Structure 1
């Protein structure tokens, strides 16, 4: 079992780092990067095997086009350097996952522009590659976003993980859907013929993750052996947001309260179910703290 870190942005807010919308986690990177290193260290101390670069909000959607044009290379490099330094200081092996975010806003798959998105992803690849053991696309919401990422990163030396976000309201049992409304099966048809080391699900409620893991586990069992002998890894890192219904705009403009029922112990109980269904990689997204990761690691 590989243990990921938790929600970097919300943990920055919890420890008093500069944090607001629309800059989100990028604000700490620009104004007080020591806080970012402190959060990396806290998740490593909690037991994370993989920490994620603080690059999720380094997009025009969050920091504005002018700041993106002027500062993106510098900020991307800094986010990688901070994570790499924390991993190297650990007393055990810790890997760095370079976060490749949705380029046009979380939960906004309809706004994705493939040409512009690919150009931006190439920028992320260039400046995060020196620090990346893994390239991790996070919170992608459509098949088009996923395909663009896989096409763009097909030749990278690091491992390649794709993480998609799911509808929080299940349309029917055992039929998970991406935020775009597309069935998960449509994504599986695409990745069946493409290079991918791990398929993960993130930034959705814990309750919808089990069906997705079960679906991908069955898909994995049907696939022929890979030349490397290593099968597709499956991962989950859910959030503690309240229910996201048909209107996601507020997720990018306000700071939502976290659910109080997603305690460290309850989250660990969900994780046991995901592991039993076939998950190899488990961590947390927004609202999942170092305390959650400590309990998760002890339980798993």
Structure 2
């Protein structure tokens, strides 16, 4: 069992760091780097064994085309350095995951531009590479984007984790990515890429259990030794037209630390061994996970 960290953006906002649209969590990289270190340190102190770099919003979608072209690699490097600083200051063995976000907008597989993947992804990879222990493509909405990201990863031998985001509004009993693709199809696809772990994040906890079940079943049929993980958000169900990080959504009262733990225990029983939190899940939740699962 490995405990992951929680959501960065809301914790930055809670700490008083500058936080506004469209830059979102990327704003603190240049205006409040100490706050970024502080959030990482809080999650480590809570028990996180893996922390993700604050590079999720270092894409043109958030910081604009001109600034990304000018500063994208530098901001990614800063995100990696700050995460590594927090780890080095801790006595705990903690790994740094290089966060590779949706390159053209969260929850929006329709905005994916295959021809621009190298242009947007390369600065992130080059900036983060010296500082990270593994690569984490997170909040992925489609198989196509994961394949494209994998094709551009450096040949550095670092583990590659993929985390998909799921449809919150289930139209049938088949768990699906936000692209509408069945989870089973996505798992079969990434298993062939040599991933070290498959996770599900930035979705309501209610839809994650079924996705974990499908993933475990596919891995068993393939005799694949690949870890399974989950880190849900604390939002109400997000409709198909939603765009992640378009504002600070209200949080569900039932997903306080004890309430979230109930879901995490269910994922653990279903076979997940990497568990943390996404948007709205703070250090107080991670403490509960570490105490009861770690």
Q: TM-score range by the shorter chain?
A: over 0.9
Tell me, in whole angstroms, the C-alpha distance in 1 between the residues paired with 2:110 and 2:30. 29
Matched position secondary structure for 2:39? helix
Equivalence map 1:1-300=2 (5 Å)? 1-153=1-153, 155-173=155-173, 175-224=174-223, 231-249=225-243, 251-300=244-293
Asked whether the 8 Å contact 1:52–1:98 carries over to 2, the reply is: yes
Instruction: Please give the per-residue CA displacement for 1:150-182, whole angstroms capped at 9, x wherever unaligned.
Output: 222273321100011000012223x11001111
Tell me, in whole angstroms, the C-alpha distance in 2 between the residues paired with 1:183 and 1:255. 29
After TM superposition, the structure 1 stretch with the greater mean CA deviation from structure 2, 286-295 or 146-155, is 146-155
Matched position secondary structure for 1:284? coil
Please report how far the alpha carbon of residue 107 of structure 1 lies from its aligned counterpart in structure 2 after TM superposition: 0.7
Asked whether the 8 Å contact 1:21–1:255 carries over to 2, the reply is: no
Q: Number of matched residues? A: 293
Asked whether the 8 Å contact 2:231–2:275 carries over to 1, the reply is: yes
Please report how far the alpha carbon of residue 139 of structure 1 lies from its aligned counterpart in structure 2 after TM superposition: 0.6
Matched position secondary structure for 1:92? coil
Asked whether the 8 Å contact 1:200–1:236 carries over to 2, the reply is: yes
Matched position secondary structure for 2:253? coil
Tell me, in whole angstroms, the C-alpha distance in 2 between the residues paired with 1:146 and 1:261. 32
Instruction: Please give the per-residue CA displacement for 1:132-165, whole angstroms capped at 9, x wherever unaligned.
Output: 1010011110111111122222733211000110
Tell me, in whole angstroms, the C-alpha distance in 2 between the residues paired with 1:185 and 1:45. 36
Tell me, in whole angstroms, the C-alpha distance in 2 between the residues paired with 1:81 and 1:184. 34
Tell me, in whole angstroms, the C-alpha distance in 2 between the residues paired with 1:154 and 1:168. 33
Q: TM-score, normalised by structure 1?
A: 0.95
- Give the aligned CA root-mean-square deviation in angstroms: 1.2
Please report how far the alpha carbon of residue 122 of structure 1 lies from its aligned counterpart in structure 2 after TM superposition: 2.2
Tell me, in whole angstroms, the C-alpha distance in 2 between the residues paired with 1:73 and 1:210. 36
Q: 1:213 to 1:3 in 2, by over 3 A?
A: same
Tell me, in whole angstroms, the C-alpha distance in 2 between the residues paired with 1:71 and 1:182. 34
Tell me, in whole angstroms, the C-alpha distance in 1 between the residues paired with 2:245 and 2:4. 24
Please report how far the alpha carbon of residue 127 of structure 1 lies from its aligned counterpart in structure 2 after TM superposition: 1.4
> 1:228 aligns to what?
none
Q: TM-score, normalised by structure 2?
A: 0.96
Tell me, in whole angstroms, the C-alpha distance in 2 between the residues paired with 1:245 and 1:92. 39
Spell out structure 1 runs of 4+ moving beyond 4 A: none
Unaligned runs of 5+ in 1: 226-230
Please report how far the alpha carbon of residue 71 of structure 1 lies from its aligned counterpart in structure 2 after TM superposition: 1.0
Unaligned runs of 5+ in 2: none
